[in-house]
Amino acid sequence: MKDSIKEQKLRVLESAGRVVIKVGSAVLTAEDGLDLRVINRLADQICLLHDRGVDIILVSSGAVAAGCKVLSTCKAKSDLVFKQATSAIGQSRLMHAYDEVFGRYKKVTAQILLTREDLNSRERFINARNTMLQLLSWRAIPIINENDTVAVQELKFGDNDALAALILNLVEADLFINLTSAEGVFSDNPLEQPTAERIRCIEDISSAPIEIMCRGKTKQGSGGMYSKLLAARKAAQLGVPTLILSGTERFCLEKAFEGHDIGTWIMPCEKAISSRKFWFAYNLEPGGVIEIDKGAAQAVFEKGKSLLPAGIIGVKGEFGKGALVRIIERDSSRNPAVGLINYNSSELRKIMGKRSSEIEDLLGECLYPEAIHRDNLLLEAIGL
Ligand code: GLU
């Protein structure tokens, strides 16, 4: 790792005032359920940071795994109802373990269970944010998990890595620490390739070939390394650096904060996107797809222009005005963009391919010359 990056990393670790720490099931659970020794060790280190004045938000998995152990059955793990019911058993045990261990350090914990739906309404997002900020002002440690009991497949965040990325925006975090069972990101599958090396730093995650990097790697927890890198990519877009660390390594957090070279450091993008863009791109569910031609793609993707109806060559799905839509260039491998659309799908079908000056004739009025304003566009939409 370059010296300048080392220094920058140390500066971030020293100055971070609000840190989101995500810990996966593979770290927290052992053969016979929750691994209380690991939870103890992590709490000890988290409390040290907290005593230094750092706000900590913990995103913790482990409810399903803990519930499985209580029932002494781990079969049917992919069955949704099974997961929902086991998480109901496991979540209270998980929180009980955290409450007890943090209580020994005189720290107050607070359970927050969220579904995707809770964060895709701006109002509920703000409510969740206010609650979180109040808890932090009381110096409590919010412990967040997905509300598995009610989350059905299409409403799921995907996994807790994706949820943690949304939380970074919700609490305006300075740093994201993702504790996993691996020692970081490796150049190859370390279980199959003894020569595989730990990647110490990813300078530009936005262009790193993460699909290739993760091919054939062990899938730990529900997300695996791929979802950790996707979450890190979103964090970087928001201007937040990520440290992927082994949560089972003794003193992992202490060592990292002392400047030891452990885990994988993922640098933030130089130009962060706004919290508002991040919110609409990753909290809302895209309602349809807009196909655009080459000229429009150049204007939108390369020149940062708004999308005009003239460049639209296809509209898929039914959606209302203001919905989030994916924008793809037809017959191109370019990554999609997402944006908030000014017209509903049937209006758009009437005005696509037409000049903005024709909108009034076609629709009776022209409220907006553009289909999507550049302020409502996110060009590099990750994982959508
Ligand atoms: N919410 C799940 C649990 O607590 C875990 C989801 C995940 O690890 O991504 O078991």
Mean pLDDT of the region 2-16: 92
Percent of all residues in the chain with a pLDDT value above 70, rounded to a whole number: 95
pLDDT at 76: 53
258, 291: one domain: no
Q: Which atom of ligand 1 is nearest to the CA of 145?
A: 1
Would you say residue 279 lies in a domain?
no
DSSP 8-class letter at 376: G
Q: Does a structural domain hold residue 167?
A: yes
Could you tell me the pLDDT band of residue 74, with boundaries at 50, 70 and 90? low
Domain range spanning residue 324? 286-378
Q: What is the DSSP string of 185-201?
A: -BSS-TTT-TT--B--E
Mean pLDDT of the region 326-334: 93
The ligand 1 atom at the shortest distance from the C-alpha of residue 160 is 9
Task: Note the pLDDT tens digit of each residue in 141-182.
Answer: 999 999 988 887 666 777 899 999 999 999 999 999 999 999
Residue 384 lies in a domain: no
Domain boundary among the residues 242, 273, 304 is at: 273
Using CA atoms, how far apart are residues 18 and 24, in angstroms rounded to an integer?
A: 20
pLDDT attached to residue 149: 86
Same domain, yes or no: 200 and 342:
no
- Classify 17 as helix, strand or coil: coil
The domain that contains 267 carries what CATH number? 3.40.1160.10
206-254 pLDDT per residue, tens: 988 887 777 645 444 455 888 999 999 999 999 999 999 999 999 999 9
Cα(221) to centroid of ligand 1, in Å?
Answer: 8
pTM > 0.85: yes
Answer whether residue 225 is part of any domain: yes
Of ligand 1's listed atoms, the one at least distance from the Cα of 221 is 8
- Closest ligand 1 atom to the C-alpha of 162? 9
User: Which residue from 21, 87, 166 has its CB within 8 A of the most atoms of ligand 1, so it is best to mutate?
Assistant: 87
* Count of beta carbons in the 10 Å neighbourhood of residue 171: 20
Q: Residue 223 Cα, ligand 1 centroid: separation in angstroms?
A: 9
How far is the centre of ligand 1, averaged over its atoms, from the C-alpha of 129 (Å)?
21
For residue 152, the CA-to-ligand 1 centroid distance in Å is: 13
Mean pLDDT (the chain, rounded)? 91
- The first and second tokens of residue 322, run together, are 């203001």
Closest ligand 1 atom to Cα of 67: 10
The secondary structure of residue 298, as a DSSP letter, is I
Same domain, 246 and 291: no
Residues 201 and 157 in one domain: yes
Q: What are phi and psi of 179, to 5 degrees?
A: -90, 120
Q: Is 196 exposed, middle or buried (0-12, 13-18, 19+ CB in 10 A)?
A: middle
* Residue whose pair of structure tokens reads 């130009």 in the numeric block: 271
Report pLDDT for 155.
67
Q: H-type helices in the chain, by residue range?
A: 3-15, 25-28, 36-51, 63-70, 80-103, 116-120, 122-137, 160-171, 210-213, 224-237, 252-258, 275-283, 294-297, 345-351, 359-363
Residue 305 located in a structural domain: yes
Mean pLDDT of 2-18: 92
Which amino acids bring their CB within 6 angstroms of ligand 1?
A: 24-25, 61-65, 87, 145-146, 148, 159-160, 221-223
Residue of 14, 42, 35 lying closest to 252 (CA atoms): 42
Compute the distance between CA of residue 156 and CA of residue 50 in angstroms, rounded to an integer. 30
